[in-house]
Structure 1
Amino acid sequence: MKQIFYVLLFLAIPSIYAQNTLQGNVVDKNTNEPLIFANIYMTQLEKGATTDDHGKYILSNIPNGTYNIVVSILGYETYSRNLSFPSTNQFNIKLIPSAIEMEEIIISTPFHKLQSENVMKVERETIATLQTKGAMTLADGMTSIAGVESVTTGVSIGKPVIRGLSSNRVLVYAQGVRLENQQFGEEHGLGLSDSGIESIEVIKGPASLLYGSDALGGVLYLNPERFAQANSNQADASYNYFSNTKGFNTNAGYKASGDHFKFLFRGSIAEHADYNTANYRVTNTRFREQDLKAGLGYQTTNFKTELRYNVNNSKLGIPETIGEQSTDKTPLLPFQEVTNHVLSSKSTVFFNNSSLDVNLGLLYNDRKEFEEPHPQDEDEDHADDDHEDLENEFLNADHLEAALHMKLKTINYDVKYNLPTLGRFETIVGVQGMSQSNTNYAEEQLIPDATTNDFGVLATSHIHFDDADIQIGARYDHRSIDVVSGLNKNFSSFNGAVGIKTNLVQKVTIRLNLASGYRAPNLAELTSDGTHEGTNRYEVGNDQLKNEQNFQADLALEYKNEHIEIFANAFYNKVNNYIFLSSNGEFMEETPVYDYLQADANLYGGELGLHFHPHPLDWLHIESSFETVTGEQDNDSYLPLIPANSLSNTLRVEFNSKHIQKFYGFVRLKTTFKQAHVGDFETPTNGYNLLGAGLGGTVKLFKKDLDIKISGSNLTDKKYINHLSRLKPEGIFNMGRNINVGVTYTL
């Protein structure tokens, strides 16, 4: 603790170095016409500016060192370059016209580069884009990202699946810190709202080098909305209506920045009734979510820091069978009430040609589950009446106790030192760690009281050559788990990664990445001994489980010119000691008993895609993508919860007119093929086609921007079941036709 205190004290005292200014102009390379409202952004400093009516910009208070500058504007290729200070104070930029979408900086990888410059292939999508497709929740929206699916319980609960791996094998980062919210449970969702999140980045494959245990299958990195630019402010409010659930979500936010201080806050509410299929409403899929985000930042020439806080409260119905048919939005029994608190601090001190990053997180997950009351009245004639009275009392009284109540408290830290650039080498060294305690407050226990401590040390370098870029790294981790009952377990692992990016021929880029990853067994796998509600299983833990250890090879090819983009990604993932549940043939109180076992497994597949925007019809976009993954044990039996192969085809138009800016329209057909490669306790799932469409744009209202969007999903009201739906064993359909209408007004 003493060392952490000294670090924090050190960060609170800004160093005094020279201040630099950068200015210049941005023009069209072909015409030399000035470009108005071009964005200039310095990644490491999180400092930006916008060109004026003459295409000029100015950035001040820049410390000595080398920093990346990114220039972007719609209709032009994104420009990226490293500039050194104090040797640079004037820099003029010429942008090349292009119909290709603007690139953004990738934050989830250590060197914060554009995707075209990255050695690792990372998928990135903005929340605004996902919402144009009618996404009802964050988990719902991310399924439109290539290689990402979701294990769902209705529409309110979704767990991300990356190339066939999910739960504790996929790590989620929010506000720059790892999210810890009892993600071991199949019916435990993200506990996050998409309100106040700017974009999602997806690392597909082992990312243990960057993030440690639980990043064996990949990482979802959620970027929070940026603060306002210096000496500016902005307010906005939005409302979305969803026809299928008779539901809505609404949010409002305000942010302002001065020369040094900046702040923001955003609040949102969402309410939905049971979702509808072509035949019935699915009882108790209703939910209510409230979310509040706030941030405070401070920045001087050589020091920046920000503090963010997010509290999310959700009441989520847990569906079991088809019963009551209504549009009531109050959850029935059983239901969950989950409150997530995330407090994060992110600070950077800039030295001459180097910097120190310190990220700290404090997370508090309060999970309650309420079940049907069980009256013990001996008079059976009044049992039903008592049951109904107790249920009504339960739903209207907040003071009654939950059947299950767990509190998970987590402190984590991430300290990285960016060494001075040495020739062709950019190098980062760092330490990461976590201290976590789980405590039960109710009679029912899924996992016992326990503490978990992680510590890891890493080093990684990006090496620039004339014709290639190479990234290498290594890491050591240790995890200790101490259970109140006396069980003490320790897990350690050494992992590494190497990757190369180069051009095979002109406009053809190849990326080859080789990486290992690991995951320590979680508390449920080690210590379970009871019925897991909602799964109809009596689960027995295994305290002899070993680390899951994997090795993945990932090959990515990309061809890009002015009018066409083609990509092909392939991967092979070897997982040793893969942990899974298996029935032992016994029953406990009429419930089948399942044991946690281990076996070696293999996953393989990839993604193919095409994006065509023909000249001179640059406003027309034709997009197609195919995804496939297969998961097998070494005994040739298939792994459970593997997504079916799918094909998506989209026709999209984009243009500006005199009255409507950023107009778009699209028609999308997603084909999901039959999943016949199923686990021992699964059944095959038929294929289906889902049709979607939407349009939107920006108009002026009182001289301010009003964004309007209309979208429809499953327009043919298809009756279908997704293979990753937890309601599939009951034969319950997924959601039917849904129309989404949304407006956002920016002040």
Structure 2
Amino acid sequence: MKKIIVFLYMSGVLQLLQAQHSVSGKITDLISGEPLIGVNIYAPELSIGTVSDKDGQYKLSEIPKGELILQFSYVGFEVVNRRLFISDSLQMIDIKMDPDVIQGQEVVISGNFTSTQHENTLKISTVGIDYVNASGHPSLIESITEIPGVSMISKGPGVITPVIRGLSLSNILVLRHGMPIENFQFSEDHPYLIDENGLKQVEVIKGPASLIYGSGAVGGVINLVPEPVARQGMITGEFTTRYFGNTKGLLSNLGLKGNQKGFVWGISGGINSNKDYIQGNNEKVSNTRFNRYNIKSDIGLIRKKGTFRLFYEQSKNNFGMAVLPAFEIVKDDNRKNEAWFQNLTDHMLISQNRLFIGHVKLDIFLSYQNNNRKLNGNPDSEEFNRVNMTLQTFSYRIKANHSFTENLKATFGVQGMYQNNKNHEAPDHVLPDATINEISVYGIAQYTIGRFKPELGLRYSFNSIHVPYQEAGGHSHEEEEHEDEEVFIEYDGQFGNLSASLGSSFVVNEENILRLNLASAYRSPNLPELTQYGMHGIRFEQGNPDLKTQQNIEIDLGYHLHTKHTSLDLSAFYNFIYDYIFLAPTNDTTDEGQKIYRYSQTDARLYGGEAMLHIHPHPLDWLHFKSTYSYVIGEQMDGGYLPRIPAQQLYLELKVEKDAWKFFRNMYLSGGVNFVFDQNHPSAFETATNGYNLVNMGFGFDLKVNRQLLNLSVTANNLLNIYYYDHLSTLKDLGLYDMGRNISVSVKIPFTLKN
């Protein structure tokens, strides 16, 4: 397999050293015929783009030969998507754009095929980077919880993990440059080491996606989509800085990128430093401070036969742990982490190769990730460094997309990984030393029949876990000293899984679309669920080597309405899970008296729905009304409710926009209320949580000073400074409220060094 990968990789690089094609044309207003200046032209599969000039003319170079989608977007006009087959060196495409106050029809890359939203059997939600920057949240994950059906488990503003339709941790995947991030994500204490630096948008698949992304995507996928490369012949940059009043936090990023005749490059760096957060009762939560530093770089070639890009990212992270021993030690008001904090270092190297060979697109993605996790405890203890382990992951993803006819296309792929976990010199071993291997093959076909787009897919996966004979070890965020019995573990397991999906979208007319999808997905039990043994947080956690593969079947029904002044999305789902894996309390205790939690399985179901409404009441096109709603119930089939199920939420927002006034451009003023209802269906080891209402406000504008553009936004979250518990907060059991009022300021300054 490795020889095949290397051969394909080198073949792709050699073919890239050829000349490229280009697309050009003129963009005009459909009604007036006037040329449109500053229209964004973007090729999502290539991450390249340009803008139209003062005459409405555009030219997009570095286009490989083959089939791809071009997206044309402009404020106040309907998005235009063109599926093209590039065959000539220079291809002319003129575009007429229709005025439309609600933009839609984004091109998304996270589905089974790169396509518009109308062509997908599942609705893929998106959040743009401009919204993230203006959201006022220190964490990227918290920023995307505006998507209905997406929520978060939090242990303060730094330690946050996502939840999709009630599933979290090992049940969802996060992708960076199309490859899964491996981050010890089995625990709510282990946040994903991600940020918004260098992103264009975030795409979210709600529901089973293991058919294309593999084990772990039974609940959904979060895909971090990178920003486009620089335009041809240009060197551009961007500086962003954000200040968070509640945590006295500072988030700053500086990036540069260039493009010289298809040779593209980029480099950026950032910092996110925050003090302990303040609750709504104006009391500080000690040791919730966190500090993150990252650098990112990439180089690449875009040529006639495709693209080759290489990415390297590194981050260093210190996250304070809000636990009882820390409260006794950490009394200062500093931002530096000194006691009871996670010291995390992550390196990721990704090679993306995409070849266009006639009607075939061949993707060869390779990645290597090195994730080191340390837990530092009491600095006065002889065992300050309590945990030190490294997870190394080599992943590959090879996919061929072929258009057999105008109506029939298919994707075939092979995907896998080799993973090694190693404990270093430290007293506590959260997980044992182990090696994991996984390989999958899959195929997906889509056929267009009139207004129907039925889609069928199959996948087979095989994985193995090997744990050599060794002494078990545990750790505790709560106790400084803990003596374990001499317990030894050894494990060898293999799992084979078959999954399938069947779905279709139906275009009723240009304004109405129906979607129906039936999918099965799987998740093999992972290393901690099978082998963990020891203290973790305030619990003694014990794995179960007898666990079976978790399998689920979900049906999704969706409806989309899009007119010039209204957008509506409705979705309902029912997810039945066989052998759902979860951590549950037992009646057993350790010799020291700690309650033992053991991984168990039961049949379960989750069901609910989401809604999103967006209205521009004509002729008041400057006024926006937006509303979202989400609801999910999680039940065990033998009685009781599932843990970590968010409360139902209703969000209402009014937004006023103005294109220009004196020196200001793209001005807005918004206000919203988030109604979170009571959660009266806790699991056996949770308690019910009262509802709450949060008021948020914000404003922003663009300002041009001496040809330099500046974007400013100010956001106030929890404006009334109420104190409340979120049901998914792990600090609730300690009697600690969520964050109080947080007023943030965001400044973005784009600049050009070479034009």
Do Structure 1 and Structure 2 share a fold, with TM-score over 0.5? yes
How far does residue 401 in structure 1 lie from its aligned partner after superposition?
5.9
SS at match of 2:144: helix
In structure 2, what is the Cα distance between the partners aligned to 1:473 and 1:95? 36
Return 128-137 or 97-106, whichever deviates more. 97-106
Q: Contact 1:356 / 1:417 at 8 angstroms: preserved in 2? A: yes
In structure 1, what is the Cα distance between the partners aligned to 2:741 and 2:593? 39
Unaligned ranges ≥5, structure 1:
374-389, 395-399
How far does residue 6 in structure 1 lie from its aligned partner after superposition?
1.4
How far does residue 85 in structure 1 lie from its aligned partner after superposition?
3.5
> Which of these residues, 588, 601, 605, is aligned with residue 602 of structure 1?
605
In structure 2, what is the Cα distance between the partners aligned to 1:645 and 1:170? 20
Q: Contact 1:65 / 1:351 at 8 angstroms: preserved in 2? A: yes
Structure 2 residue aligned with 1:203: 205
Do structure 1's residue 361 and structure 2's residue 367 form an aligned pair?
A: yes
> Which of these residues, 692, 706, 716, is aligned with residue 710 of structure 2?
706
How far does residue 28 in structure 1 lie from its aligned partner after superposition?
0.5
Residues 505 and 80 of structure 1: is their aligned pair in 2 closer, same or farther, counting only changes over 3 Å? Answer: closer
Query: What are the within-5 Å matches in structure 2 for residues 183-222 of structure 1?
Result: 183-222=185-224
Q: Contact 2:61 / 2:232 at 8 angstroms: preserved in 1? A: no
Q: Contact 2:395 / 2:418 at 8 angstroms: preserved in 1? A: yes
How far does residue 23 in structure 1 lie from its aligned partner after superposition?
2.4
Query: What are the within-5 Å matches in structure 2 for residues 143-542 of structure 1?
Result: 143-277=145-279, 278-321=281-324, 326-372=332-378, 390=380, 402-441=385-424, 442-485=426-469, 486-504=490-508, 507-532=511-536, 534=537, 536-542=538-544
How far does residue 103 in structure 1 lie from its aligned partner after superposition?
4.3
TM-score, with structure 2 as normaliser: 0.93
SS at match of 1:172: strand
Residues 537 and 286 of structure 1: is their aligned pair in 2 closer, same or farther, counting only changes over 3 Å? Answer: same
Q: Contact 1:468 / 1:503 at 8 angstroms: preserved in 2? A: yes
Query: What are the within-5 Å matches in structure 2 for residues 38-187 of structure 1?
Result: 38-60=39-61, 62-86=63-87, 89-101=91-103, 103-187=105-189
TM-score, with structure 1 as normaliser: 0.94
How far does residue 267 in structure 1 lie from its aligned partner after superposition?
0.6
Q: Contact 2:156 / 2:288 at 8 angstroms: preserved in 1? A: yes
In structure 1, what is the Cα distance between the partners aligned to 2:514 and 2:364? 33
Q: Contact 1:410 / 1:436 at 8 angstroms: preserved in 2? A: yes
In structure 2, what is the Cα distance between the partners aligned to 1:128 and 1:42? 19
Q: Contact 1:274 / 1:326 at 8 angstroms: preserved in 2? A: no
In structure 2, what is the Cα distance between the partners aligned to 1:371 and 1:284? 12
Which AA in structure 1 matches 2:615?
A: F
Which AA in structure 1 matches 2:172?
A: V
Q: Contact 1:72 / 1:102 at 8 angstroms: preserved in 2? A: no
In structure 2, what is the Cα distance between the partners aligned to 1:66 and 1:538? 55
How far does residue 342 in structure 1 lie from its aligned partner after superposition?
1.1
> Which of these residues, 592, 595, 603, is aligned with residue 592 of structure 1?
595
Q: Contact 1:619 / 1:655 at 8 angstroms: preserved in 2? A: yes
In structure 2, what is the Cα distance between the partners aligned to 1:745 and 1:542? 53
**Across the two proteins, how many residue pairs are aligned to each other?**
722
Q: Contact 2:208 / 2:220 at 8 angstroms: preserved in 1? A: yes
Do structure 1's residue 579 and structure 2's residue 581 form an aligned pair?
A: yes
Which AA in structure 2 matches 1:518?
A: Y
How far does residue 185 in structure 1 lie from its aligned partner after superposition?
1.7
Return 568-577 or 341-350, whichever deviates more. 341-350
Structure 2 residue aligned with 1:378: none
How far does residue 52 in structure 1 lie from its aligned partner after superposition?
1.4
Which AA in structure 2 matches 1:163?
A: R
Q: Contact 1:246 / 1:327 at 8 angstroms: preserved in 2? A: no
Which AA in structure 2 matches 1:230?
A: Q
How far does residue 80 in structure 1 lie from its aligned partner after superposition?
1.1
Post-superposition Cα deviations, 1:99-125, rounded to whole Å, max 9, x if no partner, equal 113543211113211213322211000
Post-superposition Cα deviations, 1:467-486, rounded to whole Å, max 9, x if no partner, equal 12222211110111011124
Which AA in structure 2 matches 1:298?
A: L
Do structure 1's residue 687 and structure 2's residue 691 form an aligned pair?
A: yes
In structure 1, what is the Cα distance between the partners aligned to 2:47 and 2:341? 42
Q: Contact 2:16 / 2:307 at 8 angstroms: preserved in 1? A: no
Q: Contact 1:74 / 1:102 at 8 angstroms: preserved in 2? A: no
Post-superposition Cα deviations, 1:173-217, rounded to whole Å, max 9, x if no partner, equal 012211001111220001112222221111001101111100011
Post-superposition Cα deviations, 1:16-35, rounded to whole Å, max 9, x if no partner, equal 88864432211010111101
How far does residue 541 in structure 1 lie from its aligned partner after superposition?
1.2
In structure 2, what is the Cα distance between the partners aligned to 1:50 and 1:214? 39
Which AA in structure 1 matches 2:151?
A: E
Residues 562 and 447 of structure 1: is their aligned pair in 2 closer, same or farther, counting only changes over 3 Å? Answer: same
In structure 1, what is the Cα distance between the partners aligned to 2:22 and 2:269? 36
Q: Contact 1:76 / 1:97 at 8 angstroms: preserved in 2? A: yes
Which AA in structure 1 matches 2:400?
A: Y
Q: Contact 1:64 / 1:353 at 8 angstroms: preserved in 2? A: no
Unaligned ranges ≥5, structure 2:
470-489
In structure 1, what is the Cα distance between the partners aligned to 2:61 and 2:198? 28
Query: What are the within-5 Å matches in structure 2 for residues 556-567 of structure 1?
Result: 556-567=558-569
Query: What are the within-5 Å matches in structure 2 for residues 545-694 of structure 1?
Result: 545-588=547-590, 589-657=592-660, 658-694=662-698
In structure 2, what is the Cα distance between the partners aligned to 1:690 and 1:594? 35
SS at match of 1:131: helix
How far does residue 172 in structure 1 lie from its aligned partner after superposition?
0.6
How far does residue 287 in structure 1 lie from its aligned partner after superposition?
0.9
Q: Contact 1:694 / 1:712 at 8 angstroms: preserved in 2? A: yes
SS at match of 2:385: coil
How far does residue 507 in structure 1 lie from its aligned partner after superposition?
1.9
Structure 2 residue aligned with 1:33: 34
Return 249-258 or 113-122, whichever deviates more. 113-122
Q: Contact 1:213 / 1:519 at 8 angstroms: preserved in 2? A: yes
Post-superposition Cα deviations, 1:670-694, rounded to whole Å, max 9, x if no partner, equal 0111101000011000100001100
Q: Contact 2:715 / 2:744 at 8 angstroms: preserved in 1? A: yes
Post-superposition Cα deviations, 1:79-111, rounded to whole Å, max 9, x if no partner, equal 112223337832211111001135432111132
In structure 2, what is the Cα distance between the partners aligned to 1:18 and 1:405? 49
Which AA in structure 1 matches 2:277?
A: Y
SS at match of 1:13: helix
How far does residue 736 in structure 1 lie from its aligned partner after superposition?
0.4
Which AA in structure 1 matches 2:345?
A: T
Residues 432 and 169 of structure 1: is their aligned pair in 2 closer, same or farther, counting only changes over 3 Å? Answer: same
In structure 2, what is the Cα distance between the partners aligned to 1:62 and 1:364? 34
In structure 1, what is the Cα distance between the partners aligned to 2:20 and 2:702? 40
In structure 2, what is the Cα distance between the partners aligned to 1:317 and 1:636? 37
Q: Contact 2:641 / 2:684 at 8 angstroms: preserved in 1? A: yes
SS at match of 2:529: helix
Q: Quote the RMSD (CA, aligned, Å).
A: 1.7
Return 623-632 or 658-667, whichever deviates more. 658-667
In structure 2, what is the Cα distance between the partners aligned to 1:52 and 1:470? 40
Residues 19 and 720 of structure 1: is their aligned pair in 2 closer, same or farther, counting only changes over 3 Å? Answer: closer
Q: Contact 1:17 / 1:64 at 8 angstroms: preserved in 2? A: no
Q: Contact 1:122 / 1:202 at 8 angstroms: preserved in 2? A: yes
Structure 2 residue aligned with 1:377: none
Residues 572 and 95 of structure 1: is their aligned pair in 2 closer, same or farther, counting only changes over 3 Å? Answer: same
In structure 2, what is the Cα distance between the partners aligned to 1:85 and 1:506? 27
